[in-house]
Structure 1
């Protein structure tokens, strides 16, 4: 059975919304339980990883259920069919006009300082997305991180999450 592209886009949007809702509920639960992992910052980061090496980090404010931003890495074409059809792609999205911007970066997994790709929504009115794509060697081990920024200052960053090209 072949799926119509419009239906695929609708399902993808529903999946993103479901992940964001789970992230917001988990964020609220961590605040209620007093988790030290998120107690110092104002934002929660939830990650969804895919078998092909792709990942999505959803950023939620601790005291609101709406999404502040999303950082996605697409290792292979079709993981996120709603927005791009190429692999090895970073998408950084600022979804909320709250005065913060979103920064996403992909770096070497071995801790080397070279960045493969980064994107920043600073200077643009939300909602806004930055998409950067370039073919990398298949299987290359990388790390993905999301940060919430204000001006030139990092307010809070997620941990690095393992991904691959």
Structure 2
């Protein structure tokens, strides 16, 4: 790394923060792990306001000081949403998107962002963090395991939980 890495919560009302959020999410969407297609223009335009309107949403961005005396550049993003665990009768926080620009992968950026996500989740009284990851994304699986994430099963005889979707 060329300078200090700063990880902080996104201010959805700050133009620089939301521009960085949209650019990082678009870079992730273009990556094979994110689907390989850029965000639709209506998503790019409407996402900051939509996130700002949701009390259950929060995001963090990692900023790297690449050039002395220049503004830091955004290098990583996590978008999170609060859910609810009926079994614990407490909130949970789902890590919905976690992206690090390719040049910055393998440098601990994701770990530092997840540390702040955990702090915020604890402040919200959350009982756990959840996330989904593609089975073929070995670097992400290793990073998540190092951060304390593991497969989920209520009863080992029933097997691990699987993530499913139905497009509407």
TM-score (norm 2): 0.30
Larger strand proportion of the pair: 1
Task: Give the structure with higher Rg (CA).
Answer: 2
Larger helix proportion of the pair: 2
